[in-house]
C-alpha cells in the first residue's frame, strides 16, 4: 500500500470516528494537532461536561499485524501523553479535565456485535485508554 493510500485510509478512519463521536454529542475542537513530539488525531469536548478528550484513531483492515488496539504501544502512548500535555499547556488551564481515548476500527464481519457496528465497520472505543 502506498503512502498516499495509507494516508487516505487514515483520513477515512478519522472521519468515521469523528462521525461516531458527533453522533454521541461530542464537539470537535481540532483534528490532526501536530507537534514535533507527536500528533493527536482528534480533540473533542465531551457533551455533558468540559472534559477535553484526545482521541487516537487506529484502523486495521485485518489481523495480520495485530489488532488496532495492540498497535498503540508504549512508545506511542508516551508520545500521545506528551502531545496532549503540550496542547493543554497552550489552550487550557490546569483545572481542565482531560483524558486520552483510543478508537479502533476494522471492517465489520457478520459476527460484529450491533453496539460496535458503525457504517460497515467494527468500532471499539476505549475510554481513558492511556493513563498519564
- Out of 7-16, 39-48, 68-77, 91-100, least confident range: 68-77
pLDDT score of 81 more than 70: yes
Q: What is the CATH number of domain 3-130?
A: 3.40.1350.10
User: In whole angstroms, what is the distance from residue 54 CA to residue 30 CA?
Assistant: 10
- Give the pLDDT band (50/70/90) at residue 117: confident
Q: Distance between CA atoms of 8 and 88, rounded to whole angstroms?
A: 28
The mean pLDDT value for 2-16 works out to 77
Q: Can you tell me which residue has the cell 464481519?
A: 109
Q: Does pTM top 0.85 for this prediction?
A: yes
Domain ranges of the chain: 3-130
87-106 mean pLDDT: 92
Amino acid at each position: 500500500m502506498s503512502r498516499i493510500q495509507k494516508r487516505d485510509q487514515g483520513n477515512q478512519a478519522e472521519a468515521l470516528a469523528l462521525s461516531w463521536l458527533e453522533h454521541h454529542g461530542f464537539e470537535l475542537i481540532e483534528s490532526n494537532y501536530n507537534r514535533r513530539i507527536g500528533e493527536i488525531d482528534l480533540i473533542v469536548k465531551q457533551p455533558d461536561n468540559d472534559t477535553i478528550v484526545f482521541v487516537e484513531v487506529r484502523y486495521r483492515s485485518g489481523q495480520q499485524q495485530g489488532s488496532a488496539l495492540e498497535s498503540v504501544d508504549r512508545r506511542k502512548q508516551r508520545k500521545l501523553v506528551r502531545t496532549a500535555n503540550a496542547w493543554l499547556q497552550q489552550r487550557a488551564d490546569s483545572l481542565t479535565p482531560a483524558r486520552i481515548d483510543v478508537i479502533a476500527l476494522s471492517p465489520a464481519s457478520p459476527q460484529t456485535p450491533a453496539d460496535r457496528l458503525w457504517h460497515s465497520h467494527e468500532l471499539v472505543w476505549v475510554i481513558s485508554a492511556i493513563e498519564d
